Amino acid sequence: MRLLVAAVGRLKQGPERELATSYCKRATATGRPLGWRTIEIIEIRESRAQDAERRCTEESIALANVIPEGAIVVTLDQRGESLDSPALAALLREWRAEDRAAVCFIVGGADGVAPSLVERARVRLAFGAATWPHQLVRIMLLEQLYRAGTILAGHPYHRA
């Protein structure tokens, strides 16, 4: 099963990119024996439109275009469901057992994602009620994918 993280914006060189790369490598290595083929990060260019609604629409179209056919879609949304790490791991195990080809996690830009993209989501995932910078959300998501892999592998990284 492919895991994709489609995110608006680029992580610039520096500690954020290094941390994202580190968690991506860890999650890939931990997930490979679990049937996770790869964890791929797709960066979508931020829209330059002046109007927030137009920016959101343009970015959402670009995000929708990278979702693989038949993929399970998970949007990161502050109004979404706050899952604990074992619950996220259980979802990934369930989707792998269903022999899903891909799961695509969508991280919108500062203006969010269009309602049409939210409607495609099987899960709307929140990291609490706080608003987080979308670059940081990407890192937090990659850490949670790594953590989910360690939970499923029985590795002691996760301690409840």
Residue 87 lies in a domain: yes
Count of beta carbons in the 10 Å neighbourhood of residue 89? 22
Question: Which has the closest alpha carbon to 93: 144, 155, 151, 40?
Answer: 151
**Structural domain includes residue 64:** yes
| Summary mean pLDDT of the chain | 94
Residue 141, both tokens: 């998501």
Give the pLDDT mean for 3-8.
97
Per-residue pLDDT at 160 exceeds 70? no
Which pLDDT score is estimated for 82? 94
- Residue 66's domain comprises 2-153
Q: Per-residue pLDDT tens for 112-156? A: 999 999 999 999 999 988 888 888 999 999 999 999 999 999 988
Residue 121 lies in a domain: yes
- What pLDDT shows up at residue 155? 87
Query: Looking at the domain assignment, is residue 18 inside a domain?
Result: yes
Report if residue 33 sits inside a domain.
Answer: yes
Q: Please report, for the domain that includes residue 24, its CATH number.
A: 3.40.1280.10
Largest CA distance in the chain: 48
pLDDT value, residue 59: 97
Residue 58 domain-assigned? yes
Residues 80, 123 contacting (CB under 8 angstroms) = yes
Tally of residues, the chain: 160
- Specify the pLDDT at position 135: 87
The reply to whether 159 falls in a domain is no
The tens digit of pLDDT for each residue in 50-106 reads 999 999 999 999 999 999 999 999 999 888 999 999 999 999 999 999 999 999 999
Q: How far is CA 96 from CA 5, 126, 127, in A?
A: 17, 22, 23
Instruction: Say if 158 falls within a structural domain.
Output: no
CA distances from 9 to 62, 64, 103, 135 (A): 12, 15, 20, 8
- How many domains does the chain fold into? 1
DSSP 101: S
